[in-house]
Structure formats: C-alpha cells, structure tokens
Chains A and B, each alone.
Chain A
C-alpha cells in the first residue's frame, strides 16, 4: 500500500517568516494530495489540495507544490501568523479511495 512520510515533525517560526512542510509518497498511482490543518481538540480541516496534473497551486498565503517524478509534495505558508499554529497533515489518495496520512507537523508561530 501507499506510505506517506512527513517532515519535520515540529516546526517553530517567527511571525512573518515562511514555513515549509514536506511529504513523500510511495505509490505512483496516487493522484490527489490534500493538506489538512488540525487545531487542538478539533477536526482536521482541508486547507489546500493538488491533483497530479498540476505542479503548483496557490491560495493567498498558502501554496502547495508537487513533483510527481520525485514523488514529493510540499506545503508553503508565507507571512505566518500566530493563528497558523496547529498540526498540519498531508495525505495521498488514488482516486479518492483510501487516504493515507502523514504523521503530522506541529507548527508554532512565535509572535
């Protein structure tokens, strides 16, 4: 089956700096890659996603890049704010069947 690895497990940045979280996947058949933000005690919420026919997608301060050849994708958050502090999960799916999640990155934005 698919194996998704996520790094780093923890990340601290100063407010206003950028944060980058990286994930790799093993199954070349995976074609959908969402990113979720989970605040303490709350449900995961989708923040951005990318499909395999696209190399990059941006939504305001958040962007995701995908390298299908290398089987890795990254989340980029620019101009970080304290409210960006949360756990971020990447996931990979083939056709919306099983979703395989990374182990999460705990992001702390220091004011």
Chain B
C-alpha cells in the first residue's frame, strides 16, 4: 500500500493519560499535515512539516500537543494529559511541494476517545 497510513486506527484512553499517534506519509512527499476532525465538521488544521521542519502550528495546538518528524519521513503527534475535549478523529495528510500539484492525500485517521 503506497498511500498514507496511520496507527493506531482507534485509541481509547482515560482522562489524564498521554497518547501518541503515528503517520507514515507517501514516501516521496516532503510535506506532512496534521488535522483534527470532530463529528459534523471539516478537518481543522493543527500543524505541518516541510521535511523535518515544523513550519506552522495552529492556535488549536495547545502546549499539551507536540508533533515531530525527526527524519523527514514518518511523524508522531503526542497529546499529554488528555482531556475529554480531545476526543476526535486525528487525520494526517501528505503532499509533494515543488511538484506539479499541491494535492493532499489523507490517511485513514486515528479515532481518539477520552473517557
């Protein structure tokens, strides 16, 4: 499968626990995005990376959230001290900047439920 993959697909955790999600983009893509999507809403931008550099973070990304892309390939999104309001689908997308298109390809998402 050469598409964007995300793990785990589902995560149930208790309030106050830390969780980490992983995204593997399409291999030649140099840009990687993280979004959060709640029921009935469009994806909300959280942050994006160009190679290993984190270029922009949304105000939605509180200090409990941190994202990394250490070698410019896969990325992780960590949420510390989870709250019930963090329950959502976390989507990753990737694209090739500098190529002919800026099309984003989304992964299947990680659905987080905080109890």
**Contact surface of A with B, Cβ cutoff 8 Å:** 6, 32, 34, 36, 42-46, 49, 89, 91, 93, 95-104
> Could you say which interface size class chain B belongs to?
20 to 34
Q: Which of A43, A44, A45, A49 gathers most chain B CB within 10 Å?
A: A43
**The one of A43, A46, A97, A101 that contacts B103, using a Cβ cutoff of 8 Å:** A46
CB–CB B56/A101 < 8 A: no
Q: How far is the CB of A41 from chain B (nearest CB, A)?
A: 9
CB–CB B31/A44 < 8 A: no
CB–CB B108/A43 < 8 A: yes
CB–CB A97/B41 < 8 A: no
CB–CB B105/A98 < 8 A: no
Within B62-115, the residues touching A (CB, 8 Å) are: 91, 95, 97, 101-109
List residues of chain A with CB within 8 A of the CB of B104: 34, 46, 99
**The one of A36, A99, A104 that contacts B33, using a Cβ cutoff of 8 Å:** A99
CB–CB B41/A103 < 8 A: yes
Q: How far is the CB of B69 from chain A (nearest CB, A)?
A: 16
Provide the bound-state CA to CA distance between A60 and B85, in Å: 41
Provide the bound-state CA to CA distance between A104 and B44, in Å: 12
Provide the bound-state CA to CA distance between A89 and B93, in Å: 15
Q: Given contacts A34-B103, A45-B106, A96-B97, could you give 6 more A-B pairs where the C-beta distance is less than 8 Å? A: A42-B108, A43-B108, A89-B43, A93-B102, A99-B104, A102-B42
- Chain A CB within 8 A of B48 CB: yes
Provide the bound-state CA to CA distance between A42 and B107, in Å: 9
Q: Which of A36, A44, A89, A101 gathers most chain B CB within 10 Å?
A: A44
Q: How far is the CB of B83 from chain A (nearest CB, A)?
A: 23
CB–CB B43/A101 < 8 A: yes
